[in-house]
Structure 1
């Protein structure tokens, strides 16, 4: 029987509007005429989820049994401490008078639920779906490397956000997650993978049916889901390989490091252990996936995602080469970085963001501008320049079909580039 016991409220972002919400009432009884609730599309959930706007931000609120809510709150806090891609826990409200609790998380700005992405993906272009699956596999590998057993990895429990020309996946639901400081066993990892395959296949088929996609796409979706473990193992093996080779073949160390850097991973330590017969075993301690973002931050102080950093570093290197040709002298990394920020990045971000009508982030807008410029330049056989790219980005100039798709993506801020499909 409900009592009048007041709620226990813990908020990590205690703005006045968030504090003033009716935490003494069950979430189902919140009145939209009195509370700034927002309609946000979500997938199927075992528990009631509602969204509220307060203190200039959007918050997700989930009604849970108190024990489960505390457990999920603790897991999300530990994922945040480990800088893992997951939604951020913002509060926990225990409502003993109603025998329930409310978990508060910060809504991930610029993110998309897979249903909205899938609706824009043409059924005859599996490469589009492959990018979504690559993001999920990368997320699962990141979690497993840090000893996190997800337990319910599915499309419903994942959000996607653009990071340059790739998708970044984020864990949303951690109700069944477990953190093992000593790492996961192979059996635990394989169990998580089997859950992923089953959930992804079911989710994609259900949505394809709801969207009345052609029946012949179903076997293709099943094949794509069953291929996920192989994608996972390729990435896992690249991160944990310990090749053996003659000690004199140390050039292979550089190749291994470069492969990991190309995947976005920083390298913390390299060790060559003798194994006999003049051979050594290479072991590489791999850090977080922030190689390019750390490099850009070191040169410019700019904080961006790993995918965005890869694109921006390419633009920075091109600017440095332009400065060399213009002056006939070598240009230091620092000098080129300062010039690039002042003359390319900052004005380019503002202009691209204006061209897109203020949609999305300025950094992502500039990444979109760079790709549209590249597409137009490829078409013309010469550098098209920023003005033509800005006109195409803002829909003020005709473009070829490839550039049109890139522009459409940038305008809606929904997908990574799909122009190569």
Structure 2
């Protein structure tokens, strides 16, 4: 069987053809590999460079490789945080003509870390709570989309910084199934697997001495259930309000927006006697602040980053002479937003030397600077300008932050 590369982007096969598919992944030469931290996997996984892309290559049997490739494409269409599928390579043979396992090729998720790399230094319990929050949000989003993961765990997740919190991405869809809608039993099964897997992974870390002594692996395994349950309840519960109190519905929608979700469809019913109104959010889409920031500025960020940048944008717009909400002659919000990107956001980020940023993207750098401005202003009891903040951040904060940043991809 001849070598075959199945890909959706016509540019990818040409880039991938240069890689040594006649060698097992374990024998790939160091010169084409990228030294990035890898999580635990039942398969052989390597990071390599293909043109300007950094890719993850995983060996597995043909049927699960093709199936996972299609599932990842489905998740991409649904807007679920997951690694991007690039190709499946089949028909591989070694130098003697013996068959080699097919591979699934995905794009490396820039700035991400597997959980074990995050525990190389003792992780504080507060940080672990943020990891559980991120994983609970990911699992809820998957379930709202009808995706049963089948193997939710820390090992099958990548984490990226998101304005002081974390964003979780699915990295292994091999055991997943996509349905029009999940039953409570399917969701409970996924959640129970997550609890058992997470507790087991933390027990393993405890045995190796990499877990903070105050962390109970069993309790943290249970925490994913509690956080998932609270979020699922808030997103899907039916609300009954007194008739005429329609601002209660608006308040509920705003609360969902604050959690980062949009109500794309709703069902509102009056009771037979007209005394009450029943409100049910029918379809809930994640990424409320992401979409709002993208529409205004063209910046594509994580959800918490978007929320923080929008707050700064709104504060800045209020200082502009041509900002007058409701005035048809005033500058439109989109015009002011692009001016903010041009005159504030980009110059501020660019003032932080690129070689000092590590894996932090532009939005995370700006968030860090906003945090530092707040700290300096509180200490000085007056507002500190951004130029002063940047200079102090580069000298006093960034060197310490660099100690905990994961390795950057070499040029």
- Separation of aligned partners in 2, 1:348 and 1:356: 14
Structure 2 residues without counterparts, runs of 5 or longer:
94-98, 407-411
Counterpart of 2:104?
103
Most deviating of 275-284 and 150-159? 275-284
- Separation of aligned partners in 1, 2:272 and 2:187: 32
Would you say 1:277 and 2:265 are equivalent positions?
A: no
Instruction: Using the TM superposition, give the Cα deviation of residue 40 of structure 1 relative to its aligned residue in structure 2, in angstroms.
Output: 2.9
- Separation of aligned partners in 2, 1:359 and 1:30: 25
- Separation of aligned partners in 1, 2:300 and 2:92: 42
- Separation of aligned partners in 2, 1:410 and 1:309: 23
Contact kept, 8 Å, 2:5 with 2:13, in 1: the verdict is: no
For residues 144-159 of structure 1, the aligned pairs below 5 Å read 144-159=143-158
Q: Write out per-residue CA displacement over residues 145-179 of structure 1, whole angstroms, 9 at most, x where no aligned residue.
A: 11111111111110001122321100111111111
Would you say 1:322 and 2:323 are equivalent positions?
A: no
Three-state SS of the structure 1 residue aligned to 2:269 is strand
Counterpart of 1:175?
174
Would you say 1:63 and 2:59 are equivalent positions?
A: yes
- Separation of aligned partners in 2, 1:378 and 1:112: 33
- Separation of aligned partners in 2, 1:212 and 1:161: 20
Three-state SS of the structure 1 residue aligned to 2:102 is strand
Counterpart of 2:115?
114
Q: Write out per-residue CA displacement over residues 187-245 of structure 1, whole angstroms, 9 at most, x where no aligned residue.
A: 1100100110111111122123213546x535x23212212111101111111011112
Contact kept, 8 Å, 1:197 with 1:225, in 2: the verdict is: yes
**2:50 counterpart (34, 50, 54):** 54
Three-state SS of the structure 2 residue aligned to 1:217 is coil
- Cα–Cα, structure 1 residues 160 and 201, in superposed 2: closer, same or farther, change >3 Å? same
Q: Write out per-residue CA displacement over residues 78-113 of structure 1, whole angstroms, 9 at most, x where no aligned residue.
A: 111111111111110113651621111111011011
Counterpart of 2:289?
292
Instruction: Using the TM superposition, give the Cα deviation of residue 67 of structure 1 relative to its aligned residue in structure 2, in angstroms.
Output: 1.3
Instruction: Using the TM superposition, give the Cα deviation of residue 369 of structure 1 relative to its aligned residue in structure 2, in angstroms.
Output: 1.0
- Cα–Cα, structure 1 residues 135 and 85, in superposed 2: closer, same or farther, change >3 Å? same
- Cα–Cα, structure 1 residues 339 and 38, in superposed 2: closer, same or farther, change >3 Å? closer
Counterpart of 2:303?
306
Would you say 1:30 and 2:28 are equivalent positions?
A: yes
- Separation of aligned partners in 2, 1:42 and 1:370: 32
Counterpart of 1:198?
196
- Separation of aligned partners in 2, 1:24 and 1:31: 12
Contact kept, 8 Å, 2:157 with 2:169, in 1: the verdict is: yes
Aligned pairs, number: 395
Instruction: Using the TM superposition, give the Cα deviation of residue 255 of structure 1 relative to its aligned residue in structure 2, in angstroms.
Output: 0.7
Structure 1 residues without counterparts, runs of 5 or longer:
398-403, 415-421
Would you say 1:6 and 2:7 are equivalent positions?
A: no
Instruction: Using the TM superposition, give the Cα deviation of residue 355 of structure 1 relative to its aligned residue in structure 2, in angstroms.
Output: 8.4
Three-state SS of the structure 1 residue aligned to 2:22 is coil
- Separation of aligned partners in 2, 1:260 and 1:154: 26
Would you say 1:74 and 2:75 are equivalent positions?
A: no
Three-state SS of the structure 2 residue aligned to 1:167 is strand
Counterpart of 1:417?
none
- Cα–Cα, structure 1 residues 8 and 325, in superposed 2: closer, same or farther, change >3 Å? closer
Instruction: Using the TM superposition, give the Cα deviation of residue 335 of structure 1 relative to its aligned residue in structure 2, in angstroms.
Output: 4.6
Three-state SS of the structure 1 residue aligned to 2:57 is strand
Counterpart of 2:258?
262
For residues 108-257 of structure 1, the aligned pairs below 5 Å read 108-122=109-123, 125-180=124-179, 182-211=180-209, 213=211, 216-217=213-214, 220-257=216-253
Alpha-carbon RMSD: 2.6
Instruction: Using the TM superposition, give the Cα deviation of residue 302 of structure 1 relative to its aligned residue in structure 2, in angstroms.
Output: 2.6
Instruction: Using the TM superposition, give the Cα deviation of residue 116 of structure 1 relative to its aligned residue in structure 2, in angstroms.
Output: 1.8
Contact kept, 8 Å, 1:158 with 1:173, in 2: the verdict is: yes
- Cα–Cα, structure 1 residues 17 and 301, in superposed 2: closer, same or farther, change >3 Å? closer
Three-state SS of the structure 1 residue aligned to 2:318 is helix
Most deviating of 134-143 and 274-283? 274-283
Contact kept, 8 Å, 1:392 with 1:407, in 2: the verdict is: no
